Structures are given as structure tokens and as C-alpha cells.
A and B are shown apart, each in its own frame.
Chain A
Amino acid sequence: MINILIIALVCCAFLCLFRIARGPTASDRAVAIDILGIMIVAFGAFMSVKTGKEFYLTTALVWALLNFIGVLALSKFLEGKGFDD
């Protein structure tokens, strides 16, 4: 059961990769990268349930925070302002 769910999640991640490769503007790629990070969090939760190990979920937590900072910095860069205002 959980293997089928993991395979479906990986197929969705490939759809996100299609949008990253195809996207017309840089903002589309930023959106797709954000969603890909969120899916990696879900993947960490699946692996943590499947194997019973704890560190997958720790990795997912750190990934969520780093994804937030990265996409926020990317949006400031796209707007054309400095990082301190």
C-alpha cells in the first residue's frame, strides 16, 4: 500500500520537474521549486512511516525551513530589491 503511494508521489514530482524545465518565466520555476520541496517533505514522512526511522522526518523539517528561506530570497531577487529592505 505505502509503496504505491510513494510511487504516485514520485510521479507528481516528475510533473513538477517538467514545469521547472519548461516554465516561460523565472517565477514559474520558483513556484515549481517550492512545490517540489513541499513534496520532498511528504516523501520524508512516507519513508519515516515505512522504515520506522526518525531521521527522515528530521530531514523533512530542515528541508521545509531551508525551502522557505530559499524561495523568499529568490522572490526578493526577482523583485529587484536588496535583501535588507
Chain B
Amino acid sequence: MRETIGFCFMFFGVVFDAIGCIGLIRLPDLYNRLQASLKCVAMGTSLTLLGTIIIVGLSPVGAKALLCLLFILIISPTTEHALARASYFAGVRMWEKSIVDKLKQDIEEPKS
């Protein structure tokens, strides 16, 4: 029973990984690809590690999986934020049909 629930979590994790990778291939510019690729992390790998924890239970393997889950959930948004900001200032252009650019507004009119 416990293994069945764990395999269900792992299956949905792989499904979200596949959706994120298709988004990484299909979407038009860098910022949209960042937005799609975080689905790989936040749902895909997290659900996989959660399924691992459910299958193996309380053991050293489960403790390492829990630690890995916490690390990934803290680390990955930090990385993507730094990468998006760096590539904006490095001059990577947005898609031509993008309609809002809040960072440019903030640079032109700094908040008092």
C-alpha cells in the first residue's frame, strides 16, 4: 500500500518533469523558459523525492531525501532569480509580443 502511494507520487513527478522539459523546448524566449523550467523543480523533483520518503520510510535514506528536498526548494528559486536578473542586465531581449516590463519601469522611476 505504501509503495503504491509512493509510486503514484513518483509518476506525477515524472509527468511534471516532462511538462517542464516540453516547455523548455517550445517557449519563445529566456524568461518564459525560466518560468516553465521551475515546474520541473517545484513539482517534478520534489514529488519524486517525496515518493522516495514515503517508500523507504524513516531510515537514513529517507533522512537524506528530506534534506535534499529542503535544499532544492530553497536553492532553486534563488538560482533562477539570479540568472534572470543577470541575463536581463547582460542584454538578453524579451519576446517581441511581451507586454509588461516591471524591471525597466523600476530602473527608470526609482521608488522614493
Contacting residues, chain B, for A60 (C-beta < 8 A): 68
Question: Looking across the interface, which residue of chain A has its beta carbon closest to that of B49?
Answer: A45
Q: How many A-B residue pairs have CB under 8 A?
A: 150
Is B61 a contact partner of A57 (Cβ separation < 8 A)? Answer: yes
Category for how many chain B residues contact A: 35 or more
- B85 proximity list for chain A (CB < 8 A): 75, 79
CB-based contact B68/A31 at 8 Å: no
**Contact A42 B71, beta carbon cutoff 8 Å:** no
The contact of B86 among A15, A34, A35, A75, by CB within 8 Å, is: A75
Residues in B neighbouring A32, C-beta threshold 8 A: 24, 37
Interface SS of chain B: helix, strand, loop or mixed? helix
**Inside 8 A of A42's CB, which chain B residues have their CB?**
13-14, 17, 44-45, 48-49
Chain B residues closer than 8 Å to A12, beta-carbon distance: 14, 17-18, 20-21
- Per CB-CB distance, the 7 closest pairs between chain A and chain B, nearest first, are A27-B87, A79-B86, A75-B86, A15-B21, A12-B21, A68-B75, A75-B83
Q: Which residues of A contact B (CB under 8 A)?
A: 1-2, 5, 8-9, 11-12, 15-16, 18-19, 25, 27-28, 30-32, 34-35, 38-39, 41-42, 45-46, 48-49, 54, 57-58, 60-61, 64-65, 68, 71-72, 74-76, 78-80
Identify the B interface with A (CB < 8 A). Answer: 6-7, 10-11, 13-14, 17-18, 20-22, 24-25, 30, 33-34, 37, 40-41, 44-45, 48-49, 51-52, 55-56, 60-61, 64-65, 67-68, 71-72, 75-76, 78-80, 82-83, 85-87, 89-90, 92
| New A-B pairs, 20, CB < 8 Å, besides A9-B14, A27-B92, A39-B17 | A8-B14, A18-B25, A25-B87, A27-B30, A27-B90, A28-B33, A35-B40, A38-B72, A39-B45, A42-B14, A45-B51, A45-B52, A48-B61, A49-B10, A57-B65, A64-B68, A64-B71, A64-B75, A72-B79, A76-B86
